Amino acid sequence: MVKVKKKTNGTYEFRVSLGFDPVSGKRLQKRMSGFKTKTDAKAAYAKLVLDNSEGAYNPNSTMTFERFTQEFFIPWYKNQVKASTFRNRKYAAEKHFAYFYNMSISSITPLVLQQWQLKMTEKYSSQYVRGIQGLLSLAFDRAIVLGLMKENPSKVIGNVKKVRTQIDFWTKEEFEAVISKMYLGDYFQHFQFITIWVLFMTGMRIGEATALQWDDLDFDKGTLNISKTLAYQNVENFHFTEPKTRAGIRVIALDSDTLRLLGEWKSVQEAQCKTNFILSYNGIPTQKYTIAHAIKRFAKAANVHRIKIHGLRHSHASLLISMGENPLIIKDRLGHEDIQTTLGTYGHLYPNSNFQVANKLSNMIKLNTSEKTQIEHYSSNQFVKTTFQSVP
């Protein structure tokens, strides 16, 4: 909405942005004042915008996409998302937006974008390309708002086809083989063990797990309170943020084995360092690299395929599915926003459910039909009569 300001002399004024200068790239603004009433000022604003609506976009704009990205889009985007999200996507944006850096914004047509899209699909997964193009589309939308583009080329050509990513996980037997190679008599291996165990047995996201404090664990009730996630940059720069979704705030009930192992770890940890972080061996939060290295090291020792850290979350879901757990319970335990996310990710892990249903239906109905018709004045279907009479 237009911001009309009342001056000390009783008149009204407003300032409006009319896009950017095609040569200098500077914002074009116009201020008008001297209106007797607020209504008059708003009417003048509406007319000014209407008169300049076609001229706000200049197809001959020389502003490069690099300048737009660095000076306008990134500073704006920084205030739209969480700090951790911004750091991750800023790197991806600068890496892949560079393809368009030497082009003027007005020259990025649907054809140009489709050429970029094809090159990207040759190197990266469809899921990754979809994410980068989504960010590009957001940048193009912002350029349109600022009067630098007329249409969003990403919305013209559409995004690449979504392909379900094959999830990787450990089975119960593979997990048992991995932990069998860990020696709890060694403090650091004990730490690696408890970290991998907790991730496998709870299905937490890595940020949720590394944020865990001993205050979040209730040994009496046997529960973990998930209410935060850890944003980690380095040893001196880390902080807590809200979970990924509202559903991420949840309580996870723990099995008796996990409670016992955590109790043992607490005693061992206290003898080595003072910290409130559950998954810590030196008093500071655990780095992803440390966990990834442990997975690689012990998977190799157990002759089991290596998985990513997030694969432990998939492993937990797979374990619950193999136990026959209800998808709604899995959804709540993993902290998914909706059941569609759970089924969309893990639905294919129910390969025999259709046959299981068929087996359960077998002999379910008592089959006892009549030996003769029970309907008075029943006349058989004419088609059936004709067909059977014509058979020699």
Output the six-digit token pair for 255.
């099995």
Residue 379 lies in a domain: no
The DSSP 8-state label assigned to residue 146 in this structure reads T
pLDDT of residue 350: 64
Chain position carrying tokens 């059941």: 339
30 plus 70 within the same structural domain: no
**180 and 88 within one domain:** no
pTM for this model (two decimals):
0.64
Two structure tokens written together for 377: 């004045």
- As a whole number of angstroms, the longest Cα–Cα distance in the chain is 109
Give me the amino acid identity at 270.
E
Backbone torsions φ then ψ of 4, nearest 5 degrees:
-95, 130
Q: Are residues 210 and 83 in the same domain?
A: no
Q: What is the pLDDT, as a whole number, of residue 150?
A: 84
Same domain membership, residue 84 and residue 176: no
Q: Is residue 135 part of a domain?
A: yes
What pLDDT is attached to residue 291?
96
Q: Answer yes or no: do 38 and 144 share one domain.
A: no
Please check whether residues 178 and 323 belong to one and the same domain. Answer: yes
Q: Which helix H or strand E contains 112, and what residues bound it?
A: helix 110-123
Residue pair 277/212 in contact by the 8 Å Cβ criterion: yes
| Domain region containing 300 | 172-349
Which residue is associated with the tokens 């157990």? 302
Q: What is the pLDDT of residues 204-255, one digit of tens each?
A: 999 999 999 999 999 999 999 999 988 777 777 777 888 877 888 999 999 9
Residues 281 and 133 in one domain: no
Question: For residues 269 and 190, what is the distance between their CA atoms, to the nearest angstrom?
Answer: 9
Backbone angles phi, psi at 232, to 5 degrees: -115, 125
Residues 6+ apart with CB under 8 A from 284: 235, 275, 277
Q: Three-state DSSP class for 218?
A: strand
363-372 pLDDT, tens digit each: 888 878 777 7
Cα-atom radius of gyration of the chain, to the nearest Å?
Answer: 31
| CATH number, residue 200 | 1.10.443.10
CATH number (domain holding residue 148): 1.10.150.130
Residues 139, 272, single domain; the answer is no
pLDDT, block means (10 residues), the chain with 392 residues = 78 76 63 85 70 50 85 89 82 92 91 95 90 94 86 92 82 95 96 97 94 96 93 76 84 95 97 95 92 96 95 92 88 89 76 68 79 70 56 54
Residues 189 and 282 reside in one and the same domain: yes
| 131 and 181 fall within a common domain | no
Residue 129 lies in a domain: yes
Check whether residue 252 and residue 194 sit in a common domain.
yes
Asked whether residue 369 is domain-assigned, the answer is no
Grouping H, G, I as helix, E, B as strand and the rest as coil, residue 182 is coil
Say yes or no: 21 and 125 in one domain: no
Crossing angle of helices 187-202 and 172-179, in 10° steps, is 170
Is residue 388 assigned to a domain?
Answer: no
- The CA distance from 37 to 43, in Å, is 10
- What is the structure's pLDDT at 55? 41
Residues in the chain: 392
Look at the chain and report how many structural domains it folds into. Answer: 3
